[in-house]
Structure 1
């Protein structure tokens, strides 16, 4: 069951993040600015993804979570394919809105399902494994986007990955079963459906809700911003050095006239996959091990990880050597995703089982509206502002400015750690 959820979450992030690597040819083909790219890649997706997530999650707390996820997968896959037919910024913006509409039903129900599949002492690791879909899907999105664009074109890349998602819809529906809601929680916990008023009044009264939500949102501004902008950064700042970095690669993996986009997709996909998997698993294992007796661990571990990214950002962003940039960004990727298992698990314990999907959707609403909606835009706008003075190097310094969001995230999580024990629901 967990494997099926990981596969769907992988497609969720393939379709969500493929636009990052395709931003380079899209910008050239449709004559877009960096600000337009960030609106298309961030706000367009975030608008409906965040606002529809709450009513869909309320439905998931009352009905079949597996059917909701099946429908969501079909919608976001079809809209990803539709992106390949866009002829203007408006067309692409609207298609990305459609992707957001579909993906609004893909995550919060899965968090609720996992909490009913696994007991409390294993949930951080289970949610971490589910979150493997983020680096795997992001890496595949970047890799497939670069390869398919190099051989076919950016339009074909959207169409192919969209159709692949549609192909797994019936397999997913036949594989996943609906577990007993709250079956692994303590006896006596509320079972009946909760109203939105009950959910909101339960969680907003807890300081941990605000600390976890705003801390994760601050980190996501940089996390989503990096996933979207780093491919463009590697092409702009390291375009000439990328072919030399991959000189060892067999000719079978390189088309006749490879451009820097293909090499950037190989480069960043490796960073996402290796660093992401290591960081997510580390965070989940640490939380499950130390969180049994110290609930504050679920916020303290991610806070330390965010602070630890700063020296690696300074090394990776300012260097002109790919041999320094690669390990630096590998560590950055690992540390920036440590938060997923611990924070998601902590959030599942701020509410009872009958309101987990809705509570998760409220968390995702805050996290993604700020993280996706503003992260891409902030870095893109800073890059545009610096472009007249720095040219293609403007993105390098825009990314460096964005590290302030990790300082904010760490501060909020450090403040949250001592409050978690009181707010915890078994």
Structure 2
């Protein structure tokens, strides 16, 4: 008997083999938005020491700004915005979201207190929450299944390019403001520079079309997100927990590594920002390479390739991640940190590709939103706060920030690996069932 929301019960027409030029243009525009969303998001990590000193904040307060202020709102609003992406115009959802996070980023430069910074960063999170669910839903319709991981990988390179841009632009903007704008704090000027252009470019979303699957959806049985998760919990529960843990790792490293480098090695952002930019650029290129590998493995019969390949990466990088905060040579540390960032931290491409392959079209945006809620709100949102609290209340020494970061890695990465390995069997079963349903549907045409 059919169970509502069961993945293997969906039947879809066979995908076309080639993507249209309009699909690639849509990918380019979405890629641009995603790049700037991460530039706006992570410019704060480079400016954190200056903001902390200027506003007299503690590590715990800074941890809340770096993590919870953005991530919790990003996650909470991602759920209704994912629902909106499944039911209304995704282009309008994206337009409004991009406009909000651009204006909010620029407004950060006006903040004069912990509360003010917290509030405007919350609005950055709300605006950015609109982008990913709608974007992934659009990509899933515009690209055939055998190109989904590649398309998702290209889209996800925007995260690393945006992070690289945050590192590079912060150094340039800080130096320029310090030399030419003595009456304005350099960190405030930087937020103005990165936020204002984003609100203007939001209109680019209307330069490509939107597939009219919603008219067809009226003829389908509606799949509810709650029964869908319940009936597929053997796959989704360990997947959610595993990626929450990796979200904690990634969010904590991105939030606190610039401060760690400044405290432990005495380097200024102008000194280490170029190195972090290079790391992010290499990580961006690696996403396309890794996406190609997953598509290659999947095409050759490894039906759980989207998660299996990532578990290989996590297992390989774990010893380096666990030991890098005990390294005293800054160059060696940067190399090890770069390896972790390139190999294991960019993980959402594996989440999105898996969802795009197995989830029914009716709930793709909502499923993506749930994973964003968990990985960003719980993972990236709590990780930086926990690290700051460990430094303030357990180790009680700002110089021991590295101990806090290492402690989290020792626990989270092994646990994440165990959870993700638990997803492999149910993932294989779902993919095989979907392929059989697709063949039956095609044979009946």
Same fold (TM over 0.5): yes
Instruction: State which structure, 1 or 2, has the greater radius of gyration over its C-alpha atoms.
Output: 2
Native 8 Å contact 1:215 1:408 kept in 2: yes
- The correspondence for 1:156, drawn from 183, 189, 192, is 189
> 1:300 maps to what in 2?
308
**Separation in structure 2 between the aligned mates of residue 146 and residue 371 of structure 1, nearest angstrom:** 28
1:290 aligns with 2:316: no
Q: After superposition, where does 1:42-81 map in structure 2 within 5 Å?
A: 42-81=67-106
> 1:257 maps to what in 2?
none
Deviation digits for residues 48-107 of structure 1 (CA, Å, limit 9, x no counterpart): 211111111211111211111011000000001111000100000111111111111111
1:16 aligns with 2:23: no
| Aligned-residue RMSD, C-alpha | 2.0
**Separation in structure 2 between the aligned mates of residue 109 and residue 266 of structure 1, nearest angstrom:** 33
> 1:99 maps to what in 2?
124
Gaps of at least 5 residues in structure 2 are 1-25, 178-185, 436-445
**Separation in structure 2 between the aligned mates of residue 344 and residue 44 of structure 1, nearest angstrom:** 24
- The correspondence for 1:228, drawn from 255, 268, 293, is 255
1:342 aligns with 2:350: yes
**Separation in structure 1 between the aligned mates of residue 168 and residue 401 of structure 2, nearest angstrom:** 21
TM-score normalized by structure 1?
Answer: 0.88
Q: Closer, same or farther in 2 for the Cα pair 1:386/1:128, shift >3 Å?
A: same
Q: Closer, same or farther in 2 for the Cα pair 1:105/1:326, shift >3 Å?
A: same
Alignment: residue pair count: 397
Q: Closer, same or farther in 2 for the Cα pair 1:9/1:391, shift >3 Å?
A: closer
Deviation digits for residues 121-180 of structure 1 (CA, Å, limit 9, x no counterpart): 11011101100011011111122223212332001111111102112122x133232124
> 1:245 maps to what in 2?
none
For the residue of structure 1 that corresponds to 2:131, the secondary structure is coil
Q: Which runs of structure 1 show a deviation greater than 4 angstroms over 4 or more consecutive aligned residues?
A: 189-195
Q: Closer, same or farther in 2 for the Cα pair 1:56/1:48, shift >3 Å?
A: same
Native 8 Å contact 1:209 1:347 kept in 2: no
**Separation in structure 2 between the aligned mates of residue 131 and residue 402 of structure 1, nearest angstrom:** 25
Q: Closer, same or farther in 2 for the Cα pair 1:119/1:37, shift >3 Å?
A: same
Native 8 Å contact 2:104 2:121 kept in 1: yes
Native 8 Å contact 1:116 1:182 kept in 2: no
- Aligned-pair CA distance for 1:369: 1.4
Deviation digits for residues 252-273 of structure 1 (CA, Å, limit 9, x no counterpart): xxxxxxxx12112222222222
For the residue of structure 2 that corresponds to 1:132, the secondary structure is helix
- Aligned-pair CA distance for 1:218: 0.8
**Separation in structure 1 between the aligned mates of residue 408 and residue 322 of structure 2, nearest angstrom:** 12
Q: After superposition, where does 1:345-424 map in structure 2 within 5 Å?
A: 345-388=353-396, 390-392=397-399, 394-403=400-409, 404-424=411-431
- Aligned-pair CA distance for 1:190: 5.8
For the residue of structure 2 that corresponds to 1:107, the secondary structure is helix
Native 8 Å contact 1:139 1:273 kept in 2: yes
> 1:166 maps to what in 2?
199
TM-score normalized by structure 2?
Answer: 0.84
**Separation in structure 2 between the aligned mates of residue 204 and residue 13 of structure 1, nearest angstrom:** 32
